[in-house]
Structure 1
């Protein structure tokens, strides 16, 4: 594995520069594989480690001087220089044996036991994601929050964190006053049983439209909300029924996406504690009254001549707002969990909300706010189904499965599976996830069904196809328990290129973890998939001798292990046949 080779390089460089090995290791990088171009395996940029060791000379000269003091050995077969760096090529037999042995030994943990990750703080991570408003449509924006949050939780778990996955439902506020008041007029119990989420949304749309035109309906909504606030049994019973139905329906969608939550909470849990927040703000002299009698917190900096920056935390009638309940929830989690980090995953339109939330927590003396982070994502356009119009997330999943089933039926090479619909679902979800994760999360993008479902190119379908192909090939492997093999059988250029790519896995994980951007991992897995397909075409198994076939199958198994594990971190369930 890359870690072993980094240590060997670091040990030799350390003796010359008198720099501790541990400080050198993060600066020794596996070289990215380039098509049709021979490259060394590792590089060390001299500017980052030589400090005052050399005279004031150019980076190029520093690299030449350092390289001149290093020597090849049983591990390092060649030392050279590049643009301001010293390069290292590893003994080919050792490279082959070491990488394949490490993957066989570590399995799904390969890449996660690296020294690069050893100093990253491990602890308790709370991830709040998905968080739909139960009176509104579970729309495509919640798909992004759900799969991004699931990816972050998977990644944190993979590197050794204990993770609590939280779904913070929007289940309180004026919208529920509208829904409660409107259900007696527009609601239907039979429709509510048949299709709960769709019917709740239908009612909400109708009552909201009427409230905009009719003050009496708006007053009815406010009255219903007041009943809820006061604990009226009939109002609470109806609200509880709506909430339970919503969670039940959401759970079905989450199961299809391979997501589960450790905790369902919501704004409603903090309606009383929000009043404690208002009292706390008062006691600290932070709560002010605006001209229209609402409660605000001044967030402008001393001496700031710009317009004052403030956050409204209380209505004129003294009731709480969304941000007040969020403050209460954050404080409650700080006290309950004592977390090491808390990550909120929402769209970028809430950037200002979280800036205010973190600022107010800081003013309240909650130092744990420094461990809080907001991961933002952009909007998606173009994810309409064939039916068109506004869509539920479930419609998108149905559409992906339906299109994929059709593609499988029209493809001659498709293999018979026990449950074609289940396979099509997993491939369709992989397509949605990869299309979403290919770019910067904060960027808006336009979804394209045809592009997402292509079997070639950088798509989720391609990743699933590659994994299924490797799985089919490995069915030929009868002696997979025997790790011993002859490295001479694996000297082909396509093998060396793939192993060099596998060396980079821990660096990709490190970068992905640092930025919480899945695009690095997606790009890496695509590269691995393309290298795997080249090797599949080049390295025959059936026509080879048992010794060669065994070595090649061990090589293909190593690819499958890393590919499958990377896909699972992204939230994709690998398929074995398609």
Structure 2
């Protein structure tokens, strides 16, 4: 409908603009009573030497378009009220024929988008602090696939760096092999925390840790053996959490993978005369870009994040020929990614602008940032398990005869944790609250899942064949159906906005609003009683279309949609 309205407007504007340009200007009014769509005329005042109100009045008075049953002009805005029976026929024809493919586009044309996400550190627990990168990145991967890209999920594991010198030092001084074998992540984390506590009393421990990491970089057998062991047990522990969340990866190439690829990058920088010495370290100056120097090598010759990320960027482009390379990493790393792109531009890399940092806020507990260094951490695995347990208790209380209770509880419990994160605009902080996550009212995962299950229950009770007999005309539809139809119609635009802004919360907020409209419709329309067969068929087709879009919205967020709860 947006396209049809834009085309009609452009014709009235003597085709002075592109239809696509006009379509982008059409917006959703803030208030429902102001129409279904609105077109602001302010930008045309200079072009036509008229006031926006006069332009809106002239355009509105001449506007005629199939599917728009009323036009209302308010100030410089033209408000459009869509013809619900016509819109319903189009939207629900698309949904019932396309099913889960509804809303798909081929914008990406099969091009690759690499997504650097999750990236927990080896030998540290998978905390709630890691949740954000994991679920935002996974949702973005699903969303870009929806519009025709091929996503490459890369878990850039933190398996290198001075923390391994600290961990090896701690293990050598205080470690117990049997305890680590029995409960690796817990014990290794304890050792890591203990190291920092002791280093505050004895700073020489930091020097010892640096020496152990230097030995690891130089290929020392003992250091390498311990490092490989820590990495192996950590990846196994991480895999259990990823499996519970239903998240998989195309690559686990972490920092260590690029150890033999950094010298080529350093050579490149030297050949381009970009490396300079600064207090014994090697840097690339970025004064012209208004940025501090990018540190490539420390005084002791050790490499840094920037060196590895430069090597990783080259490797990913050479192996995947990405259209975009996304880095789902916290707000605090914004400077690092600005420096990364700036260095690549100095190297005249044509794809430097295709690197995109996707920043996000922190996960807070009691208003404070979680810290693995100080041991103030909430383990994601424990949160997921607790959430599932609470969901199990709720099911036992409300629906004890439910089939596959444990499976449904898992979907609800895990979905609650994921949705609580994804409903928040990614650059805002998220406040950890298990109680808030599991509410069945408000903007929560269980609320959306329950709306889906309720809609599925209606269809089962009506015994409608989900493959045949859906309505194709909707003459009986009116104001009661309007909000639900308009929201279903908005699904495609929501996907486009989520891709444009790299923001999964667009989808989460959309599906909450869809469920709110559905629940209102369910509460106010007694559609299975006192209705003729035609009305029943039309209303059930609307319910069926709603289940498809709710389920697909949740899938894009990485969340399951149970048919019974």
TM-score using structure 2 length: 0.90
SS at match of 1:555: helix
Contact 1:494 1:531 in 2 (8 A): no
What's 1:101 paired with?
93
What's 2:355 paired with?
372
Separation of aligned partners in 2, 1:574 and 1:479: 20
Structure 2, gaps ≥5 residues long: none
Contact 2:470 2:537 in 1 (8 A): no
Tell me which of 74, 93, 101 is aligned to 1:82: 74
What's 2:274 paired with?
286
SS at match of 2:325: strand
What number of residue pairs does the alignment pair up?
555
Q: 1:50 to 1:259 in 2, by over 3 A?
A: farther
Query: For each residue in 1:205-239, what CA deviation from the matched residue of structure 2 results, as whole angstroms up to 9, or x when unmatched?
Result: 23344445446654543443233223233432322
Q: 1:513 to 1:415 in 2, by over 3 A?
A: farther
C-alpha deviation, 1:149, in angstroms: 0.7
SS at match of 2:132: helix
SS at match of 1:125: strand
What's 1:182 paired with?
170
What's 1:245 paired with?
233
Written as runs of structure 1 = structure 2, the 5 A alignment for 1:200-219 is 200-214=188-202, 217-219=205-207
Separation of aligned partners in 2, 1:10 and 1:120: 24
What's 1:159 paired with?
147
Tell me which of 416, 420, 445 is aligned to 2:405: 420
Q: 1:81 to 1:279 in 2, by over 3 A?
A: same
C-alpha deviation, 1:489, in angstroms: 6.8
SS at match of 2:39: strand
1:481 matches 2:467: yes
Contact 2:36 2:80 in 1 (8 A): yes
Contact 2:103 2:146 in 1 (8 A): no
Q: 1:315 to 1:7 in 2, by over 3 A?
A: closer
Q: 1:347 to 1:92 in 2, by over 3 A?
A: closer
Q: 1:333 to 1:87 in 2, by over 3 A?
A: same
Q: 1:15 to 1:178 in 2, by over 3 A?
A: closer
Q: 1:215 to 1:48 in 2, by over 3 A?
A: closer
Tell me which of 505, 513, 519 is aligned to 2:505: 519
Separation of aligned partners in 2, 1:81 and 1:297: 57
Query: For each residue in 1:532-573, what CA deviation from the matched residue of structure 2 results, as whole angstroms up to 9, or x when unmatched?
Result: 112222333543444433322111011111111111112211
What's 2:420 paired with?
435
SS at match of 1:256: helix
Q: 1:47 to 1:122 in 2, by over 3 A?
A: farther
1:356 matches 2:317: no
1:233 matches 2:225: no
SS at match of 2:79: strand
What's 2:324 paired with?
341
Contact 1:480 1:554 in 2 (8 A): no
Contact 2:103 2:495 in 1 (8 A): yes
SS at match of 1:163: strand
Separation of aligned partners in 2, 1:259 and 1:187: 33
C-alpha deviation, 1:76, in angstroms: 3.4
Separation of aligned partners in 1, 2:300 and 2:171: 25
Tell me which of 2, 21, 24 is aligned to 2:22: 24
SS at match of 1:265: coil
Query: For each residue in 1:33-54, what CA deviation from the matched residue of structure 2 results, as whole angstroms up to 9, or x when unmatched?
Result: 73xx4x53333333456873x4
Contact 1:13 1:70 in 2 (8 A): yes
Q: 1:480 to 1:445 in 2, by over 3 A?
A: closer
Contact 1:40 1:89 in 2 (8 A): yes
Contact 2:128 2:377 in 1 (8 A): no
Q: 1:161 to 1:364 in 2, by over 3 A?
A: same
What is the RMSD of the two structures over their aligned residues, measured on CA atoms?
Answer: 2.7
SS at match of 2:50: coil
Separation of aligned partners in 2, 1:130 and 1:445: 16
What's 1:67 paired with?
60
Query: For each residue in 1:257-311, what CA deviation from the matched residue of structure 2 results, as whole angstroms up to 9, or x when unmatched?
Result: 12110000111111222233233323322222223x2222222128x7xxx8223
Q: 1:301 to 1:10 in 2, by over 3 A?
A: closer
What's 2:315 paired with?
332
Tell me which of 164, 170, 180 is aligned to 2:158: 170
Contact 2:4 2:65 in 1 (8 A): no
1:407 matches 2:394: yes
Contact 2:423 2:508 in 1 (8 A): yes
Q: 1:191 to 1:468 in 2, by over 3 A?
A: farther
Structure 1, gaps ≥5 residues long: none
What's 1:563 paired with?
550
